[in-house]
Structure 1
């Protein structure tokens, strides 16, 4: 999972470690691993590699509550045992592979020291165990169906990966990319409680090149192949608590040949009535935690809401300036919750100052942060009424609360605040459909606006006027904005 090509990710909102640890302990596969670790004892026998000997699998399955007639029991017990060994819930002593009587020799297994962490460890320690289990499950999920494994063995008994058409590193990278995209799709526009993501959309995100406007039949066939691989992989990842998964409808696959399925998979996902038939997936809160942990380890910048509570106001505003509005507000609310409001408001206002490129957006985030503040904040806000950068913000905040004795701003402050406001909106959301309406509203209240605004001592004046020249809904005003932008650029140079 390489972080190199990716910009910083949007922040994610996660439950507390205690809640996540409870989710981890409730994940079916992890819970089975714990039960088998407690079951392990003097009579437990293992093969080389720490696997349970075949004769003990039925007993292990019974310890997990599977009936002897349940054919899946031994397989699920084997999987849970592997997780228990890999996470340190079980300590194994492997048999001596040099023994002449290999059929009779076997290793032993006992509960591991880490088993005590399940009930006596801190939430973070439980989550570390779960992350280790996740690594095991992801490694297993990257292994294809090995029905053809015997045919792929060479004369020396080694796997011929070319004949098997399986590259372990490539498969692991593919799954990592899929999970990274699933994480990004989730934190960018969804949450763990929102609608799940159609499997064709996820498959297409890793198969179809970004610059391809219309996928070819060959690319659609690759999407179909990827979907079927993911269908199998997400079935394996669901029991560890990483995802909720709705598999591809088996009847759908039976109805169509490969070419029709490939062509219909992406198109079908767009139809609300059919989308569930093509498979749906969503990360659980525990899954968001797990993938984020892996991405952080790989070098990604993947913030989580609440990480800034012990930082200063300057670090807070710098960070949330790049957050979506909802995440920014949640982060600020957590930051304010642990501080005395008058002191915190003064710190926020001080951090909002600055003539640098990020200044307008910091002030916008500061204004949003102060929106829910009550009367306790008023003294700190009044203290900046005469500040050339914050005086306009302070007047807006006081006026919205019906405060008395709010001095009217002079013309210079009005024009400066107009430039700052538009610069902040451009930095926050780009050239949105709503921004021309804001421009029209701001300029309509001031006669001769463009004759005066180009003189404003604000580092973004020319940039804002150029944007208004492109976006202002009134053609005459747009032309005046372009002329004013030229004057502002000339003045700056």
Structure 2
């Protein structure tokens, strides 16, 4: 049986034309396009398709790069042009076999891909940028050959014995780090764009187990090592337009080559101090690119606005799992072109049901209805006598100061309470917040458990058991468990 696809939180995407404009300005791609124009009708290349030494220096000059220090950058831009199909290689087979490294074996000429990009279609340019980004990601997963050569030149060949480089593992590590960065940014409620993620936070997401509340010294050391590994790779990815990166402050590096992390944490350092350990964020173009790669890998990666034209049932089902800020944005887009009464009627109909997901749908229904004004009132009045929807309808009408609202019966009040708690228990990971809610609820209702176990709701017993776990008062917790037992017994009798 195949595994369920990874479902990611939704992101915002810029329009294709705006993304294409950003892609054209990316240094790596812009340099590659300039070299294609510079190559003209053909440039000599060696058997590997690389520029000859004199032409490589000329290419660096064309890009405005120092010919001494920028040969690697020029070579990378040339590699992108060839790898993405902007340039086509014309190398005779016999020449390829006979030519030595650095000797002419053919030429590179402008290819059809360049003509397509020059035509200005945004999608063509975005596909080209994606190919360039893949080249850069592969580059960032390669060993630092120049640094290695410097070490060898200094006579320290022991590094070869210690080097255990697995290119597939390194590429997977970088892919996972970028996927985690994508998720962390998607969960960020900052507007209009998510903020940067501290490098220690991203590194911890790759190392620290979810159930570990306080990382051990050994885990912190591993987080530090991952930070420095990411620091090196992210520095290389800047010209590709995938991310914006503020490197680790060199003043923090200890004598052993790694920063000390023992004091890093939300309570230990202020934001400015944390930023010295590195900050990274995906650019809008990077969000687009990472989403394309994740979809190709089989993930579900929604975009805010995907549900705007769909039915209310799809909206409520999806928004249960959305972060609060994304759920509100999606709901606002869904309401934009709908008449208030019609929208409210459809939302209320989609909120019905007794299945396990129904409480969550009704909670989202209530939150979406809260975005509507008084024009929707007729739809809410239509369901006042509905035992499942009448309670939330009364809340909505009361909040808007509507007149002549019939008082709810005790059964409806308790049913709405159980339904709301069931939704919160299913969707809210903040146990402390839920505990506060439960304590307040019990304090305001004498004899709550005597009435609650009788509520005809599928989740009554589960809710009461959860109240028993979360309430700090031992006597009240015991009362909740007793009520849960009675609810289970009632369910068995009814069955």
Give the TM bin, normalised by the shorter chain. Answer: 0.7 to 0.9
> Residue 271 of structure 1 is aligned with which of 269, 272, 276?
269
Contact preservation (8 Å) 2:185, 2:195:
no
1:489: which partner in 2? 488
C-alpha change, 1:207 and 1:47, in structure 2 (3 Å) is farther
Please give the residue correspondences for 1:252-267 in structure 2 after superposition, counting only pairs within 5 Å.
Answer: 252-253=252-253, 256-258=255-257, 261=258, 264-265=260-261, 267=263
Q: Distance in 2 between matches of 1:56 and 1:300?
A: 43
Partner SS, residue 245 of structure 1: strand
1:84: which partner in 2? 81
1:156: which partner in 2? none
Alignment deviations for residues 167-194 of structure 1 (CA, whole Å, 9 cap, x no partner): 2112111211221222232223465945
Alignment deviations for residues 200-228 of structure 1 (CA, whole Å, 9 cap, x no partner): 343343345556654455x5554444333
Q: Distance in 2 between matches of 1:368 and 1:170?
A: 44
Structure 1 residue 45 displacement after superposition: 2.0
Q: Distance in 1 between matches of 2:335 and 2:210?
A: 41
Give yes or no for the alignment of 1:290 onto 2:289: yes
Contact preservation (8 Å) 1:181, 1:202:
yes
Give yes or no for the alignment of 1:353 onto 2:352: yes
2:413: which partner in 1? 414
1:402: which partner in 2? 401
2:250: which partner in 1? 250
C-alpha change, 1:418 and 1:276, in structure 2 (3 Å) is closer
Q: Distance in 2 between matches of 1:64 and 1:411?
A: 77
Task: Give the superposed CA RMSD.
Answer: 3.0
Contact preservation (8 Å) 2:188, 2:195:
no
C-alpha change, 1:352 and 1:113, in structure 2 (3 Å) is same
Q: Distance in 2 between matches of 1:277 and 1:394?
A: 51
Structure 1 residue 245 displacement after superposition: 1.1
C-alpha change, 1:120 and 1:404, in structure 2 (3 Å) is farther
Contact preservation (8 Å) 2:47, 2:103:
no
Give yes or no for the alignment of 1:93 onto 2:77: no
Contact preservation (8 Å) 1:45, 1:53:
yes
Contact preservation (8 Å) 2:47, 2:96:
no
Structure 1 residue 426 displacement after superposition: 1.4
Q: Distance in 2 between matches of 1:117 and 1:4?
A: 39
Partner SS, residue 487 of structure 1: helix
Structure 1 residue 404 displacement after superposition: 2.2
C-alpha change, 1:30 and 1:13, in structure 2 (3 Å) is same
1:186: which partner in 2? 185
Alignment deviations for residues 270-316 of structure 1 (CA, whole Å, 9 cap, x no partner): 53464344332222222222222212211223322222223221111
Structure 1 residue 450 displacement after superposition: 2.3
C-alpha change, 1:274 and 1:435, in structure 2 (3 Å) is closer
Contact preservation (8 Å) 1:46, 1:108:
yes
2:156: which partner in 1? none
1:155: which partner in 2? none
1:56: which partner in 2? 55
C-alpha change, 1:98 and 1:77, in structure 2 (3 Å) is closer
TM-score by length of 2: 0.86
| Structure 2 portions without partners, runs of 5+ | 153-158
Q: Distance in 2 between matches of 1:111 and 1:321?
A: 51
C-alpha change, 1:131 and 1:436, in structure 2 (3 Å) is same
Contact preservation (8 Å) 1:415, 1:453:
yes
Contact preservation (8 Å) 1:246, 1:279:
yes
Q: Distance in 2 between matches of 1:288 and 1:457?
A: 46
2:453: which partner in 1? 454
93-102 or 321-330, larger mean C-alpha shift: 93-102
C-alpha change, 1:418 and 1:249, in structure 2 (3 Å) is closer
Q: Distance in 2 between matches of 1:188 and 1:380?
A: 33
Give yes or no for the alignment of 1:198 onto 2:198: yes
1:432: which partner in 2? 431
Q: Distance in 1 between matches of 2:9 and 2:183?
A: 8
| Structure 1 portions without partners, runs of 5+ | 153-159
Partner SS, residue 109 of structure 1: strand
Q: Distance in 2 between matches of 1:4 and 1:51?
A: 43
Aligned residues: 477
Q: Distance in 2 between matches of 1:220 and 1:370?
A: 46
